Amino acid sequence: MNLIHVFILGIIEGITEFLPISSTAHLIITSRFLNIPQTEFQKFFEVFIQSGAILAVVFIYMQYLVKKPNLIKSLTISFIPTAVIGLLFHKIIKRYFFDSLQLIEVALFSVGVLFIIFELLVKKNKIQLTKSISQIAPSQALMTGLIQAIAVIPGVSRSGAVMIGMMGMGFKRDESALYSFLLAMPTIFAAGALDFYRSRDALLSDLGNLRYLLLGFLTSFIFAYISVKWLIGFLKRHTLIGFGIYRILISLFIFYML
């Protein structure tokens, strides 16, 4: 991996982290396309630069969150299932899930189809989107956390899973997206911290790695800031169908090209 690779991956991460298209899948696909070996450092890099994207959310929404202590309680409840599953299955996830393009392809395609079907149900008023996240009940927060835990599979999309799950419970698209942004803060910071702790000796043995991590982090932060600002406005006016079609097309690209 070189500095150009780091810059490209930072851009990909920043743009895709909060879009419901799976940033992890895009990072893995891009790494394969650029012939970047999936070493332990590479896997850690792909997790660590997500923290740059999360810092963008902190900058945008921390003041909003501080004023809503009840929402912090809900986010804590939602975070617990993901934390438990992440700790229990961390090695399996990193060793097997991140190396399976077939799994990523199926996840991208399946969730893309789900987006389209779901939005058609909304259009027919089978599902009504009326709630704001200030109305979320503890049971709904827990269910959201369980749904997010499914996104440990690359290609599912953490934000996409949370958005679909919350919309299924009647929450508005943009409100669901906002909750997924806020829930990402403890989720991804915890994942990055766990990866750093378990890989610290190998990572710190080569100080050149720190340069790559810093550049990827900063690039991800800048592009995530732009992406988050855009997505909330987009979801106030549009559905998830466009993202569903995109996911299907990317899955077909993997099938035929990689």
- Give the pLDDT confidence of 149-191 residue by residue, as tens digits: 888 888 999 999 999 999 999 999 999 999 999 999 888 877 7
* Res. 95 pLDDT band, cuts 50 70 90: low
How far is residue 87's CA from residue 79's CA, in Å, rounded to a whole number?
A: 12
pLDDT value, residue 207: 63
Residue 16 near residue 22 (C-beta atoms within 8 A): yes
pTM of the model: 0.89
Is residue 143 scored above 90 in pLDDT?
yes
Higher pLDDT, 39 or 236: 236
pLDDT value, residue 197: 67
- Which residues lie below 8 Å from residue 36, measured CB to CB, with a gap of 6+? 1, 5, 42
Residue 29 near residue 168 (C-beta atoms within 8 A): no
Mean pLDDT of 182-207: 72
Q: Residue 90: how many CB atoms within 10 A of its CB?
A: 15
In the chain, % helix, strand, coil (3-state, to 5) comes to 80, 0, 15
The count of domains in the chain is 1
pLDDT value, residue 202: 57
Residue 247 near residue 110 (C-beta atoms within 8 A): no
CA torsion angle for 162, 179, 245, 225 (degrees, to 10)? Answer: -130
- Which residues lie below 8 Å from residue 127, measured CB to CB, with a gap of 6+? 118, 121, 167, 168, 170
Mean pLDDT, rounded, of the chain: 89
**91 CB-side CA count, 13 A:** 2
Least confident of 5-19, 23-37, 88-102: 88-102
Q: Write out the residue range of the structural domain in which residue 165 sits.
A: 3-257
* Res. 77 pLDDT band, cuts 50 70 90: very high
